[in-house]
Amino acid sequence: MLMPGLLLESDLCHPNTGQILLSRGTVLTEGFVRKIERLGLESAVEASLQQAARKRQGEGDEIAELTAALGTLGENSPAATDPRPGRLQGEPVLDYGLRVEGKMAISNLLDCARGLKDRHEGSIRSFQDCEITWGIAKGFIDHLLARIERMDLDRYPECRLHDAYSFSHPFNTAVLSMLTGEALGQGRDEIRELGLAGLLADIGLAWVPPALLEKSGRLSSQELEQLREHVRHAVTILKEFQSGRGLIVHVAATHHERMDGSGYPRGLEGLGVPDGAQIIGLADTYDAMLSDRPYRKRLEPAVAYQVMVSSPSFSKGVVAAFRRRVSPYPVGTRVQLSSGQEAEIVEVNPDKPLRPVLDVDGARIDLAAAPELRVTRHVVPRRYTRLAHRLPVQIRTRAGHEWNATTVDLSLEGLGLEGDRTPPHGEKLFLTVTAGGQPVHVVGQVVWEGARSGDRAYFAVSFVPSSDADQRQLVDAIWSMA
């Protein structure tokens, strides 16, 4: 019997259309249970829960086997620990699989947009057909929404992606937009639309010459007009998607408009700027200020935050919702103080977001009660993700099956892989990555399976290196690719 409080172990899809109704990881509420019963899907959900329970029952044996296998991959293997310093304990809001899923969705969208511009036969690979690409993006937003619904205010940093701007910016804009929409009390369908709108608002940049986007100097008036054409391009691209309609197209056309009339392309002001456009515009602007750009360095979070909350460009209601859901110094952030010491944020002060509670060398300091100290710098960790490099990987299962794949994403969190098969979700894999001419042994499990393209399959594996030496070698190899 279904009861509120149960956690969905797999996506619940409509039996006829295949549309995702509730994403894996959703906590069932009374309302959800009633809808499931009304659609006659109780047996499907109960079967999924029973299968997950059987799988957990055998988890003890799996862990023992995995520990034994780790010993065969490297001598003096340490216990499996998370190599990322300062990571929050417990279930991550945004795991590696969801990060890779988002980046692959954005990559597909950009490729599809460029193909629409070229109009050459075969310029869009079969799985990047507009409708399929749209479906991939919707699936990612559904999974992201399920995570955001369980996220605390101070855990926002786990949702922010640090990567190449073309990937990280639409990703982060979608996250911030959904958080703001949730704080405004919008419904699930509205928040989903906001996420898609945030992901696609600047898709028109795919039609702007790369040299213009990467220019480090000041843009001429002609270049500025050419850049602003991305708004019109976005509308054209989105209308090519049969599902691209309503809010998403409207937001793409208006998200650079501002309440005080300072925006473009039409110079709308006041109530003429739709709420959705304000939400996406605020998210887009805030993430851009926190990112390094060719023409300027990123702003410190405190500076960007103060600019946003005091700006006349956005309505007070949207700004207030943004402030309720986003903190400039979330828990887990490392900062430098005016004393020269480094510290880690351990608690957010909702009433004084610029004065958080810190851990300084084991001592707890509340900046709200220490006026002599202030945060001077956000300590940004090295970015250990390199999308441009494709490395060969040998894969082995516990049953002894072997095949080869190639990396499409590489980081200390895991691997995004392209191969000729997709292993099942949760399967344990042993991988040998050839980096810098040397084999690096890693072990992990499948956390995401993507769409196939002909005989090519895409999936992500979350891992920990199997020895200290392998971890150092992996870090050195990734960093040498910078």
Distance of CA 23 to the CA centre of its chain: 16
Q: In this prediction, what percent of the chain has a pLDDT beyond 90?
A: 36
* Residue 357 pLDDT: 94
User: Looking at domain 392-480, does it have CATH number 1.20.120.80?
Assistant: no
Provide the 8-state DSSP code for 369. G
End-to-end CA distance of the chain, in Å?
53
- Written as six digits, the tokens of 354 are 């610029």
Q: Are β-strands 20-22 and 363-366 bridged in parallel, bridged antiparallel, or unpaired?
A: unpaired
Residue 416 has pLDDT above 50, yes or no: yes
* Residue 119 pLDDT: 58
Average pLDDT over residues 89-104: 71
Q: Are β-strands 392-397 and 402-410 bridged in parallel, bridged antiparallel, or unpaired?
A: antiparallel
pLDDT tens readout for residues 179-222: 999 999 999 999 999 999 999 999 999 999 989 998 988 899 99
Local confidence band at 17 (pLDDT 50, 70, 90 cut-offs): low
CA distances (Å), 205 to each of 11, 147, 171, 232, 236, in order?
Answer: 33, 28, 15, 10, 12
Burial class, 423, CB count within 10 angstroms (exposed 0-12 / middle 13-18 / buried 19+):
buried
Name the superfamily (CATH) of residues 96-325: Hypothetical protein af1432 (1.10.3210.10)
> Lowest-confidence range among 13-17, 416-420, 426-430, 466-470?
13-17
pLDDT tens readout for residues 458-474: 999 987 656 667 767 77
Between CA 330 and CA 350 the distance in angstroms is: 11
* Residue 87 pLDDT: 31
Q: What is the mean pLDDT of the chain?
A: 79
Alpha-carbon dihedral 179, 182, 188, 190, rounded to 10 degrees: -80
Between CA 259 and CA 319 the distance in angstroms is: 12
Between CA 30 and CA 43 the distance in angstroms is: 17
Residues 6+ apart with CB under 8 A from 93: 147, 148, 150, 151, 155, 158, 159
Q: In this prediction, what percent of the chain has a pLDDT beyond 70?
A: 71
453: β partners: 456
Please give the model's pTM, rounded to 2 decimal places: 0.73
* Residue 199 pLDDT: 94
